[in-house]
Structure 1
């Protein structure tokens, strides 16, 4: 069976505006984020999407809620799509962490990309394999989840950018994922 899935990065928050690592912090969408979520709903309105799943964090839940309400579809939370845990570094400016450690991955106490991938990829595979219908799904999650997934699917896609309020289109066929679209920004 072939399945279509849209990975949506949640809308903008005040911590995004300040370039701070959000991780498990739980800021709400700001006005820009609300508009971005509505724009994604409009962009995906004629795709036949049957439901939307999201990370349990408020910014993802609200993005999913806006999309679900606009499209008249079911919304559920799936913790496997939760953001990366930045530990002590949550709330710090990304530039500060990069200056001190060279990469966010090198900072002590940060959940590894491999750990994020180990929970999110099986969730995607399970969703695709257990589908009773072939209607597309939306998963609202975070850049720190989307980027490792995309890099796993296409190891050559090393320079992936995932803006807030963007969507990525994937197809699952013969137990493999394929990237169809990256960083679509409907605003």
Structure 2
């Protein structure tokens, strides 16, 4: 099995560098162009199935890529970005000014701290890992395109490479980039990062 992990194209929130979670932002003009370029780069690549986060920015990305494949796009809640709750779509400056106490609690335990009305990193990691386990169990051989978000791609890589959630910060994943992982006999190999 091979997974082609694609991060959605740019949104205005990405440009502002906010903590963009479940806020349902659409691609901006630059984001659409990024994904069209990505679609052309993927042309001729064998893809057996496409999975996407249901959030608009991911679905728009998946639909543009799918223009060349005409496959059924399967949505999964497991591929949604982390829910940042009351912090969603705030910049670092806004977040630390408006929620200094909560931010301090997050810093002291970023893995388990559950943001009000949102998720902990561990919650989102477990959700992404459950999606991957299900795909590995039922997907069979093949090449699967997974259109999702920065945090989810980082969590999937940390999970598949047995590095633990703490290592998820070690991966750079730009908008409309490609990351590839080959999986054989339960062993995962990272073959491309942020391409």
What TM-score range do you get, normalising by the shorter chain?
0.7 to 0.9
| Match runs of 1:1-150 below 5 Å | 3-97=1-95, 100=100, 101=103, 105=110, 108-109=115-116, 110-132=118-140, 134-150=141-157
Q: TM-score, normalised by structure 2?
A: 0.83
Look at both structures and tell me which one has the larger radius of gyration over its CA atoms.
2
1:97-138: per-residue Cα shift (whole Å, max 9, x none)? 367436673574252222112111221232133235x33110
Secondary structure of residue in 2 paired with 1:162:
coil
1:159 counterpart = 2:170 = yes
Of residues 28-37 and 55-64 in structure 1, the stretch that sits farther from structure 2 once superposed is: 28-37
C-alpha distance 89-157 of structure 1, shift in aligned 2 (>3 A): closer
Q: Structure 2: 5+ residue runs without aligned partners?
A: none
Runs of 4+ aligned residues of structure 1 deviating over 4 Å after TM superposition are none
Identify the match of residue 176 of structure 1 among 166, 187, 193: 187
Give the aligned CA root-mean-square deviation in angstroms. 2.2
Q: Structure 1: 5+ residue runs without aligned partners?
A: none
Secondary structure of residue in 2 paired with 1:28:
coil
1:158 Cα shift? 4.6
Is the contact made by 2:114 and 2:121 (CA closer than 8 Å) also made in structure 1?
A: no
1:66 Cα shift? 0.3
Is the contact made by 1:97 and 1:107 (CA closer than 8 Å) also made in structure 2?
A: no
Aligned length in residues: 181
